[in-house]
Chains A and B, each alone.
Chain A
Amino acid sequence: MLELLAIAREDGWAFIKKDGQLILLKPPYRDSNLVRVCEDIIEKAVSLHGFEPIHESYPGWGPLVDFLRAELAKVRQSKLGILDDAELKFELLRDAPREILEYYLHRTESELIPNGEWNAALDVLTLLMRVDIVRQDANLCQHAIALLQKCNAGLAANGRNRAELTAEGVVRLFPGVAQKYPVASVMEYMRNVAERHQVMPVGA
């Protein structure tokens, strides 16, 4: 049985008693974040650090962690006005140092964009563009804008190609093929491969 003795709802920290031992638990809720503490610390935590005394019992760690997570979410929604995941990410990035912001720009450029993950890249860049440091730093801002333009171009090209891989699409994208073979035959070949789900039609 776990006894919850005090909680800091805004950051999810909690004092718990288990088998006579006082334990401090903080997010993320993992074994490595369970710290044994002295009895007298809880008094200071309540009087000086804004912990709220509470007396509730839980049959195990699962229900206790669920409760702490629910409390944390409630506080975020009510006090910080954080309504969704994007808002939470923005809260995290808002006060991040320049190096961290540069790091996210670099990862967007080197991982998301080359892999054609345009929407994920746009999400990150949109968040970054809301951060004051990015908007006020000419280099960061230009970098982010250039990446946004790449994403827009990529999305546009992808949409166009998906929608238009008709005979006209084949002519536009594969001019060498269109010059060498009748486009209708190429389209029929493509359809055959797609229908039989085999490039090499093995088996009876």
Chain B
Amino acid sequence: MTTITFYSYKGGVGRSLAVANVARYLAGFGQRVFAIDFDLEAPGLHYKFALDAGNGAAQIKQGVVDYISAFRTGGQPPDSLSDYVVPVETADKEAQSGKIWLMPAGSVTSASYWRLLAQISWHDLFYSDAAPGVPLFLELKQQIEQQFKPDFLLIDSRTGITEVGGVATTVLPEKLVCLLMRNRENLDGAREVLRSIKRVPRLPGQPEIEVVPVLTRIPESGEVGWEEEVVAKVHEFSMNQHQISR
């Protein structure tokens, strides 16, 4: 299983849409794909899989927030993920062999979702004595691998700097797709985050995280030299990353 996190420092760059599109694209090649929504404060990946209405919405009963909550109250991770995962319908050509599953953030139209989210103490999970957050999320990844046997795990990360975003970008992935808009705010923020990712130690057997910067929402100006300028920006960004990693 290859784990790819989609991250953006700021919102509105099309990150969730990219996760959904990549999932469908991979499924079209017969791959088994598991997508997970870690954008707990502004969940929306289920919309991109058209699970926001009708049967789809009805299927979503629990998700990541409920999984964390079950650990908090039960004292151990739930044995089975089946209650927290919904299958995503694939187009006919994809259905021949590929599959997509989604672990949504939760049932976001219910008040209990927001109450449970507010009750998660990130401090207790990560910064208290013997905080169990890191192994809890690693265990979730292992459970996904063992119970669904996907070829790819795609993580829709929270924007900015948050605990759950940190898990998605530093603890779990082998590859990180960093979506950027071409402005200083986006580029500086993303650069700082990517620097930190290079600093984070990896567990034995975990490869160094491969970062793939993707420039999005490029305005089509049609001016002479525009395309070269965009390419140069990406190149400059990539060179900076290369220097950082060394």
Contact = CB atoms under 8 A, between A and B. Distances in A.
B127 interface: yes
Interface residues of B, number: 45
Given A154-B74, A185-B204, A200-B161, A161 B193 contact: no
Given A190-B134, A200-B165, A174 B77 contact: yes
A199 B166 contact: yes
A194 B127 contact: yes
Which of A154, A161, A197, A199 has the most chain B CB atoms inside 10 A of its CB?
A: A199
A162 interface: yes
Contacts of A161: 75-76, 132
B139 to A, nearest CB: 4
A174 B138 CA distance: 8
A103 interface: no
A114 B73 contact: yes
Interface in A172-200: 173-177, 179-182, 185-186, 189-190, 192-194, 197-200
Contacts of A97: none
A180 B142 CA distance: 8
B203 interface: yes
Contacts of B133: 190, 193, 199
Which of A173, A174, A181, A186 has the most chain B CB atoms inside 10 A of its CB?
A: A174
B3 to A, nearest CB: 13
Main secondary structure of the interface of B (DSSP, over half): helix
B138 A200 contact: no
A115 B70 CA distance: 9
A160 to B, nearest CB: 7
A138 interface: no
Contacts of B72: 116
A185 to B, nearest CB: 5
Contacts, number: 117
B203 A186 contact: yes
B73 A113 contact: yes
Interface of A: 113-116, 154, 157-158, 160-162, 165-166, 169-170, 173-177, 179-182, 185-186, 189-190, 192-194, 197-203
B221 interface: no
B99 to A, nearest CB: 21
B222 interface: no
A179 B126 contact: no
B196 interface: yes
25 contacts: A113-B73, A114-B73, A115-B115, A115-B116, A116-B73, A160-B75, A162-B130, A174-B142, A176-B146, A180-B142, A189-B201, A193-B133, A194-B128, A199-B133, A199-B163, A199-B165, A199-B166, A200-B161, A200-B166, A200-B169, A200-B170, A201-B199, A202-B161, A202-B196, A203-B192
Contacts of B102: none
B74 A202 contact: no
Main secondary structure of the interface of A (DSSP, over half): helix
A193 B131 contact: yes
Contacts of A114: 69, 73
Given A154-B75, A199-B163, 16 more contacts: A115-B69, A115-B115, A154-B74, A169-B130, A173-B139, A174-B142, A180-B142, A181-B138, A181-B203, A181-B205, A193-B134, A194-B131, A200-B165, A202-B192, A202-B193, A202-B196
Given A114-B69, A161-B132, A200-B196, A185 B146 contact: no
A195 to B, nearest CB: 9
B200 interface: yes
Which of B115, B135, B196 has the most chain A CB atoms inside 10 A of its CB?
A: B135
A174 B136 contact: yes
Contacts of B196: 200-203
A109 to B, nearest CB: 13
B161 A176 contact: no
